[in-house]
Amino acid sequence: MIPPPGFAYRNPRRDGHWVLALIAVLSSVALHVLFLSWMGDMRLDASELVERVRAEKEERNQRFPPLRVERVPQDPFRPTSVERPDTSTLMQPAALEMMRFLMQLPELVSPLQPTTDAHLADTVPASSRRAEIPPSEPMISRQEIATVLEKRIDDNLAAMKRREVSLIERVTQAPDFAPAVDAASRRFEGGSGFRPADMPFGFAGFQTMRLPPPKSDPPQPSRPENLEGGEGTEPAAVLSERFSDPPEQAQHFVAVDDRLSIALQSYRDPGEDGRIYFRIAIQPRPEAPMPALPKDLLLVQDSSASLAEERLYFCRQALGEVLDQIGPSDRFNILAFSDQSALCFPDWVPATESTLSTARTFIGNMRSLGGTDLFASLQRVLKLPRDPARPLVAVIVTDGKPTVGTTASTEIIGAFTKLNDGAISVFGFGTHARINTYLLDMLTYCNRGETRLNRSGRWTIQKEIGDLLSSVRQPVMHDIRFAFDSASGSEVYPKQTTNLYADRPLELYGSCARDVRELVLQFRGRAGGSDYDAVIRLDIGRDSQGGDADLRARWAWQRMYHVIGLYARDPKPIYRAVMERLNADYGIPIPYGNEMGK
């Protein structure tokens, strides 16, 4: 509908808007007036509150005066005069009577008289001078009952072996206390947590060299022409007795010179001494391989609560895969330990369908519970029967933190190494990088093995344990020993090497004088119940490949490891001095920090 002209539509709801706006303005003005009238008596400063706090503080100081600190000229606990207590108010009448009797007692008892005047100064004073000595007050005893609320000292500390501390000369004006840490060792603690094994000790891209074939008619040692006796000579029987073993005690070795591949790398120090540092790698020749030996494999798994179920799960998966790698002629067993240890089998068993099924069930039942008694489990490892014809390899998977039984790292390392004597080759795997690397490194280094750590998270534990077991799967010679000729004066490490395996080289690091031209190495080992050896001659100038200063550092690390192993078994100060000298001469830190004292 269209409105007529002059007509406009008007909304009746808009007529009340200006009325509401007027009411809102008046209400706001009223509220502001009331608020301002209420705020008129308020004070914005805090002077009244400050005055009240000051008054309370003065009242408190009057009741409890503040501590007064002043410098006293002498020891307050050593008074110069004896104050006599007021006994009339402190003691009961009976106690007063007793005190009077004790004070009169010296007068009633006649003193002993000295025999001569020369002894007067050393005995009781004369009666004429006795009155000059003031009588001493009687001792007033007081009984107190002390209650031990909390035990803070372990009873086992009393039975621990004490260490002798060397006599230290007193220094004038030195403080009467010492810090709780070895401040001298802290100077060399910059490498704490760094492991020499983290350096790449492998021979990646290092080409092996072949020895010249052995001569068909080796030269015979010269002997004296006259062996029948005579002046200035000895009979042949006497020479034989002096320079050879009896036939029933002679040890016969089979030569394996042509079965080994040798690689030599050397570096001459440009310093004043010009010493030569070298590295030797020994490995079976690919074209003449040595047969793999049947071995005894022991899998030692830490199942304590400190390992945590998240990591133990991947360890169980890895052990299950290792069972598939056991050879048909090998024997195996599994040891799980926490605060107690348990063997899967009472003795070594072959890898059959039945034993493997039992082993997988045993592994699946492992749970993360209890403490960690590592030393007790190692003692049980030593009780397993040993076949001299079989190399025994033990692989320990742990977090390296003993909490039950023997927990001192040096005691565990020293005791097990002494009892083992190189019979068992021990390899270790740390489940994370924060483990006690000192304990695990030295336990394996001193017992023909090595340690590997998991650094990239628990998801790689399964693969890393498998890689470690694969590297020791094919031993070809065990109980390895070596010796260098004394003419070269070589200093070679490690003194006790790992077994010889088909797929990993055996490495030696040595140092000799600058004028040495030839190295003669005798290498011995056992395989299949027989003894083998090889005599290796190496010309440093002709047979060696060029090296760099890294060889010098690696030799120093090996010597450092060797000395730390000696220190772990017998913590003598001389070993610490050798470590400090290596630190100063070669610039390598002493690893493990203060863990070596634990």
pLDDT category of residue 238 using cuts at 50, 70 and 90: very low
> What are residue 489's phi and psi, to 5 degrees?
60, 35
Residues 62, 509: Cα–Cα separation, whole Å: 79
Longest Cα separation, the chain: 166
Q: Quick one: pLDDT at residue 185?
A: 34
326 in Cβ contact with 298 (< 8 Å): no
pLDDT value of position 35 = 79
Q: Which domains does the chain have, with CATH numbers?
A: 296-473 (3.40.50.410)
pLDDT band at 281 (very low <50, low <70, confident <90, very high): very high
pLDDT in tens, 51-69: 888 888 787 777 766 666 6
Burial label for 379, CB within 10 Å (0-12, 13-18, 19+), is middle
Least confidently predicted of 109-118, 348-357, 383-392? 109-118
Q: Does residue 27 have a pLDDT over 70? A: yes
The average pLDDT across 427-440 equals 88
- 554 contact partners, CB below 8 Å, separation of at least 6: 199, 201, 279, 509
Give Cα separations from 218 to 93, 288, 505, 517, 539 (angstroms). Answer: 112, 23, 29, 22, 19
Q: Which of 445, 461, 549, 550 is nearest to 495 (CA)?
A: 445
pLDDT at 77: 55
Q: Is 422 left (phi over 0), alpha (psi -120 to 50) or beta?
A: left
Distance of alpha carbon 371 from alpha carbon 591, whole angstroms = 27
φ/ψ of 160, rounded to 5, equals -75, 155
What are 316's two structure tokens? 């169980």
Identity of the highest mean pLDDT range in 100-104, 170-174, 406-410? 406-410
Mean pLDDT is lowest, of 176-180, 362-366, 390-394, for: 176-180
Asked if the model's pLDDT at residue 458 lies above 70, the reply is yes
Q: Which range has the top average pLDDT, 15-29, 54-68, 424-438?
A: 424-438
For residue 474, give the nearest of 449, 499, 447, 450 by alpha carbon: 499
Lowest mean pLDDT among 237-246, 388-397, 469-478: 237-246
Instruction: Please report where in the chains the tokens 């590297």 appear, as a residue.
Output: 471
Q: Best-predicted range by mean pLDDT among 61-65, 156-160, 164-168, 252-256?
A: 252-256
Q: Who has greater pLDDT, 252 or 229?
A: 252
pLDDT band at 252 (very low <50, low <70, confident <90, very high): confident
When pLDDT is averaged across residues 199-221 and rounded to a whole number, the result is 34
Q: Strand pairing partners for 469?
A: none
Mean of the per-residue pLDDT values for the chain?
75
- 476 three-class SS: strand
pLDDT at 332 exceeding the cut of 90: yes
Tokens 């490495």 map to which residue?
507
**pLDDT tens-digit map of 544-581:** 888 888 999 999 999 999 999 898 888 888 999 999 99
C-beta of residue 551 within 8 angstroms of C-beta of residue 278: yes
DSSP state of 201: -
Centre a 10 Å sphere on the Cβ of residue 471 and count the other Cβ atoms it contains: 14
Residue that is written with structure tokens 């914005």 in the block: 44
| Across 286-301, average pLDDT | 92
Between 41 and 420, whose confidence is greater? 420
**DSSP collapsed to 3 states, 235-278:** CHHHHHHHHCCCHHHCCCEEECHHHEEEEEEEEECCCCCCCEEE
**Amino acid 140: pLDDT:** 56
Determine the average pLDDT of the residues in 425-438: 88
Residues 6+ apart with CB under 8 A from 172: none
- Of 450, 445, 438, the residue nearest 407 (C-alpha): 438
Q: Is the pLDDT of residue 180 over 70?
A: no
* Range in 103-112, 271-280, 284-293, 323-332 with the lowest mean pLDDT: 103-112
Per-residue pLDDT tens over the stretch 344-358: 999 999 999 999 999
Q: Give the closest residue to 388 by CA, choosing from 422, 435, 418.
A: 422
CA angle 374/375/380 to nearest 5° reads 100
Q: What percentage of the chain reaches a pLDDT higher than 90?
A: 34
Least confident of 128-137, 365-374, 556-565: 128-137
* Token digits of residue 539: 């010309």
pLDDT at 117: 45
Q: Are 192 and 587 in contact (CB under 8 A)?
A: no
**Selection from 436, 444, 351 nearest residue 394 by Cα:** 444
Mean local confidence (pLDDT), 109-119: 46
pTM above 0.85, yes or no: no
- Judged against a pLDDT cut of 80, whether residue 336 lies above it is answered with yes
**Looking at per-residue confidence, does 67 or 257 come out higher?**
257
pLDDT 10s digits, 469-487: 998 999 999 999 999 988 8
Share of the chain above pLDDT 70, in %: 64
Which one is predicted more confidently, 154 or 83?
A: 154
Please report the DSSP string for 76-87 in residue order.
TTS-SSPPPP-H
**pLDDT, position 204:** 30
| Residue 119 pLDDT exceeds 50 | no
SS3 letters for 339-351? CCEEECCCCCEEC
Instruction: Tell whether the model's pLDDT for residue 107 goes beyond 60.
Output: no
Write out the two tokens for 24.
Answer: 């809102």
pLDDT at position 112 is: 45
The confidence band for 93, taking pLDDT boundaries of 50, 70 and 90, is low
pLDDT value at residue 201: 34
| pLDDT exceeds cutoff 70 at 83 | no
Beta strands at 392-398 and 296-302: parallel, antiparallel or unpaired: parallel
Among 105-109, 179-183, 253-257, 267-271, whose mean pLDDT is lowest? 179-183
Cα dihedral sign, 415-419-422-427: negative
Tens digit of pLDDT for each residue in 501-530?
A: 998 889 999 999 999 999 998 999 999 888
pLDDT in the model for residue 255: 87
Decide the pairing of beta strands 475-484 and 500-501: antiparallel
First-to-last alpha carbon distance for the chain, in angstroms, is 105
pLDDT of 346 reads 93
The residue among 91 and 394 whose pLDDT is bigger is: 394
